Structure 1
Amino acid sequence: MPDLFVGLMSGTSVDSIDAVLVDFGDEEKARAKILTALGHPIDPPLREAILALCAPGPSELDRAGQLDRQMGQVFAEAVQTLLARAGVEPRDVTGIGSHGQTVRHRPPGSVASPFTTQIGDPNTIAALTGITTVADFRRRDMALGGQGAPLIPAFHRAAFATDRNRAVVNIGGMSNITELAANGSVYGYDTGPGNVLLDYWIGLHQGKPFDRDGAWAASGRVHPELLNRLMADPYFAAPPPKSTGRETFNANWLEEACAGLELAPADVQATLAEVTAASIAEAVHLFADGGELLVCGGGARNKDLLSRLQRRLPTWSIACTGSYGIDADWLEAVGFAWLARQTLLGLPGNCPGVTGAKKETVLGAIYPA
């Protein structure tokens, strides 16, 4: 019997909503099969408003409340479009797992009262789609002393764990690693910036949304002093559990590091790519001397970035998660479909070894159809 779930994800880049229709089947150990996937666009004015809300500094509650509803409507539209494309009726879908759009993440250690905020009203999603929606996944983990992120390692364990050392790296706006040890233990954390600054820099200088294949970064040269300044940020040396976002790695952070240096724009892009690769590689080195590295997220399509990783990790085989059964573009959205399923089954969805939470817990809140 089909066991259908929808997973939704809008990442740090705010470039689109990833929507997947997944059949987990009726096996005891669920196997995720993507039936249909799409990247649902976010209109430029809404994207700019979200990015403005994401920027460090005070925010307006009225603006946040309205964007919460608007994002809920866009998420619902993504579900409706997805199901129409798949030829599936809403009544046949068990549930929706919606991560929401993160606009502020202040984990333990960053503020006196840690919190995390995602918008994309799940009430609106459930009302407009007629499908039970599970959302607000991060805050239960944070309530138990965890970072509230990353949350996908539990799914990585279910989907990719084996008797060999494996690491799963998601290179989205930020990058995070899941360490799947051969002995069954699971660890993970955010390694630092992924695509967020690469996208910002090429947008500033060439008006492009991203550096296709990393071609512009490949045309430049890494600037040693800039690389040293960027890698000196305390976040990189901090021990896990840890998580991060635009609150730390943003345009001001980059511009402060560039101050007083003679820099060609392409060289800055190359250096930013090297920061992403170096921070990921350092995390992988700390995990194991060799194994299989599975890459997903937008960075999985960046040939230059993957080349930099391979140069830094010569004893690791590197491949996209698609080679292991789940397309790299959709893996996070599949993960939130899986988390919704865990919640509806009353099963835990976090990994305390990853987030630092006091215990495993059922994540999220359920919004019935």
Structure 2
Amino acid sequence: MPEQPPLRPLALLVTRNFPPLLGGMEKVNQHLLEELQPSWKLGLCGPTGCSAYVPPHAEVRETKTKPLPIFLVVTFWRALRVGLRRSPSWVIAGSGLTAPIAWLVARCAGGKAAVYLHGLDIVVPSRLYQWLWLPFIRRCDVAMVNSVNTGRLAEQRGVRQDRLRVLHPGTDLPALDSIEALDFRNRHGFGSRPLLLSVGRLTQRKGLAEFVAKALPTIVSHDPAVLLLIIGDEASDALHTRAGSERERILAEARHAGVDQNLHFFGRCDEATLGAAYQAADLHIFPVLELPGDVEGFGMVALEAAAHGLPTVAFDVGGVADAVQDGQTGTLVKSGDYGHLCSAVLRQLVQSKNEVVIAACRTFAAGKTWQRFGERLRFLLGETGE
């Protein structure tokens, strides 16, 4: 008789951060689940609606995300039932938030526990979280981190160095289309104006209100035609955000500085439109703030910009240095130095995108594709699962 292939073990992902919720963490977890195949059978305990975003044949259990305590309790119960019935070899927490669930289910089911840490889930300013959640993060068999900086933060909070593994988020590497970029500009009436692009959910940490107040007026004084295009919407699903509308704060600063005509809010858009915007823009800006109890774990939008040949000017905070190769795919500026940030933006606008810059950006991004992410993910779980 022919030899039967070995049965594939189950990997169970437990997370609140998964589509249809929007954000970088959600995108990472979606790719994490996809890249586990074909080595593992797939299981997911996630938010309502997540079953529409998973590979075929994955076992899915959905839970409403609000209120958060109910989500955690119900998700734990559902993950435990899957674990006891199917004995997963790995139970993976998609962020520190679900690390206690992953660890408890793994121990009950005889498997191993892993957690993917994004930065904020290490430093979140909650005494309850620091007292109750961090011990479970420390106990996980492996803690994957999205950047070197997140690894440092985890080690400072007691995660053993021998359990830490850097696993950078990835990106797609699309074909470039100059016609598509020109069409985007013409369709939205941007013409040949110098176009600065910001991409991401509107949160205080992204620093757009401060950029508009402290940098954009200087940039506009040198080139009145400059337009700041903001793609993204309010972070309505985020657990940690300040009250009120960030969009209104940005707009208020623009009006006060007299640059509201140099601002365009685009809102959410699909991937095709976003790709066209990356190609149409002259520069991606990422003026992230250093905030107590908050951190930019990596900076996926900077990597996505590079994949489209678009350089980034950013403050060197958190894990941004892992997403921007200073001097090659953009410029890193000391945190809070808006004078140098303005100079870097103006210098880049004068140079404009050229073939050398585009090639450098895409070469860097080619080393951090989702395929590379998957290869390292499978290596790490295999390495620590023997």
Length-normalised TM-score, structure 1: 0.36
Q: More helix per residue: 1 or 2?
A: 2
Q: TM-score, normalised by structure 2?
A: 0.35
Higher relative contact order (CA 8 A, sep 6+): 1
